[in-house]
Amino acid sequence: MLTARAEILKSALTLPEQDRIQLATELIESVAGPPPGLSVDDPAFIAEMERRLADGSQPIAWGEVGRQLDDDLIR
């Protein structure tokens, strides 16, 4: 199962950003309920995604987010 999931992720990451957003939305909606604090229907979430699309922001890997947070906490 892990191999199939890794292959699907690798393939999904080659999609254009808008398609990845749509795919992520559909995956989130496919689970029993939204994760706490996350809703793709939240106007703030939608506005942030639209802002990122408009300004060409590049995705940041979770590992990099963690490193940046660690760096900020150390300072």
Q: What is the pLDDT of residues 46-68, one digit of tens each?
A: 888 888 888 887 777 888 878 88
Q: Which residues contact 25 (CB under 8 A, 6 or more apart)?
A: 40
pTM of the model: 0.41
- Residues 6+ away with beta carbon under 8 Å from 19: none
pLDDT tens digit string along 4-46?
888 999 999 999 999 999 999 888 888 866 566 667 788 888 8
